């Protein structure tokens, strides 16, 4: 496994920021690491990269323990923190040369720098100081730095935060392309990005792991009731709708549209149609409401 986390915890005095979480990520996977603010995402990422020591448990990258073998881990990992730490007074190419020296790339440095400038679309900006770049291009510089030494694992903390829609698409496409050959663990609050990039999702809340599966299975396992959205041709007496036997919950959208929550979709559908027929009402539309990843995320992290 490229990343293996076992019973990992981090405690600050009385607060448990990360509470006994375990997961594995294999090569060629792009995994979304999700959770509300303060859930422990960044803390976990910092422990995996060796920036923070765990209070208990272990983290391994490509078989190397992050505590016992930190230098071996750093050779194999590329990290883009949420607060992208760049030297604004440096020129783009100068900064990448500086990073190449840190990684001791030697004769390969020049070739790798030019490759990263090309891959991340920095060609037209490479002559500028980093401080003069837009946020989107600063993120590209951060990604170029993270990829420069050709790591097996990428840890990306909010890589598209604060970017405009065009920049988000560019960075997303870059991550997807890179993820074909590497392991990518990324955190984000943008659910559309998760659905576009990730083959799997890990969700934590209050430091605890609450879900770890494919997006489709997480939806299936956390959608406890079916919902029918029904629009009638005229106003309806709500109290009469509540008498239906298969109804778990009724939500009024308007005087003609309602959401029927049920544990038996087909029976509920038949009951509604029969009720409408008995009351001389026409059904303009009847649709099954599909739970989004955002709905599931909210359900898992609302407490």
pLDDT digit string, tens, across residues 105-116 = 999 999 999 999
Question: Long-range contacts of range 111-114, CB-CB < 8 Å, 24 or more positions apart?
Answer: 112/148, 112/149, 112/150, 113/148
Query: Do residues 238 and 204 both lie within one domain?
Result: no
Domain boundary among 197, 220, 243: 220
Mark which of 177, 205, 220 sits at the end of a domain.
Answer: 220
* Domain membership flag for residue 130: yes
Nearest to 196 by CA among 221, 170, 220, 222: 170
Q: Structural domain of residue 77, as residue ranges?
A: 3-220
Establish if 238 belongs to a structural domain. yes
Number of folded domains that form the chain: 2
| Cα separations in angstroms, 280 against 266, 276, 283 | 21, 6, 10
Whether residue 160 sits in one domain with residue 250:
no
Please tell me whether residues 215 and 242 are part of one structural domain.
no
DSSP string covering 22-59:
EEEE-TT-EEEEE--TTSSHHHHHHHHHTSS--SEEEE
Per the model's pLDDT, the better-predicted residue between 292 and 62 turns out to be 62
- The Cα 226–Cα 236 span in angstroms is 22
Residue-wise pLDDT tens digits, 24-39:
999 889 999 999 998 9
Cite the DSSP H helix spans in the chain.
41-49, 70-75, 92-102, 109-119, 135-147, 165-178, 191-197, 215-222, 238-241, 265-278, 293-301
> Average pLDDT in the 103-128 region?
93
Residues 24 and 130 in one domain: yes
- Show which of 185, 220, 255 is a domain's final residue: 220
| Mean predicted lDDT score pLDDT of the chain | 90
Find the Cα–Cα–Cα–Cα dihedral 101, 102, 105, 109, rounded to 10°: -40
For 253, the 3-state DSSP assignment is: coil
Say if residue 179 is in the same domain as residue 231: no
């Amino acid at each position: 496994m490229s990343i293996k986390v076992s019973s990992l915890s981090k405690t600050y005095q009385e607060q448990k920021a990360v509470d006994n979480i375990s997961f594995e990520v294999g090569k060629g996977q792009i995994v979304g690491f999700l959770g509300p603010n303060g859930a422990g995402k960044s803390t976990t990422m910092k422990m995996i990269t060796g920036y923070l020591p765990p209070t208990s448990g272990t983290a391994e990258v490509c078989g190397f323990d992050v505590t016992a073998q930190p230098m071996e881990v750093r050779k194999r990992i590329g990290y883009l923190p949420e607060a992208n730490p760049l030297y604004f007074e440096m020129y783009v190419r100068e900064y990448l040369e500086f990073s190449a020296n840190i990684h001791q790339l030697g004769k390969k440095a020049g070739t790798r720098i030019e490759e990263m400038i090309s891959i991340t679309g920095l060609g037209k900006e490479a002559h500028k100081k980093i401080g003069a770049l837009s946020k989107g291009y600063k993120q590209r510089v951060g990604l170029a730095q993270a990829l420069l030494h050709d790591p097996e694992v990428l840890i990306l903390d909010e890589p598209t935060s604060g970017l405009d829609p065009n920049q988000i698409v560019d960075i997303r496409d870059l991550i997807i392309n890179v993820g074909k050959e590497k392991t990518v663990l990324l955190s984000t609050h943008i659910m559309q990005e998760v659905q576009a990039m990730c083959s799997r999702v890990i969700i934590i809340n209050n430091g605890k792991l609450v879900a770890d599966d494919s997006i489709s299975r997480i939806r299936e396992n956390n959608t406890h009731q079916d919902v029918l959205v029904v629009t009638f041709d005229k106003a309806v007496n709500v109290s009469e709708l509540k008498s239906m036997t298969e109804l778990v919950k009724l939500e009024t959208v308007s005087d003609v549209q309602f959401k029927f929550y049920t544990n038996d979709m087909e029976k509920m559908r038949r009951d509604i149609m029969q009720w409408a027929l008995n009351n001389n009402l026409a059904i303009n539309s009847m649709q099954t409401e599909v739970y989004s990843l955002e709905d599931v995320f909210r359900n898992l992290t609302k407490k």
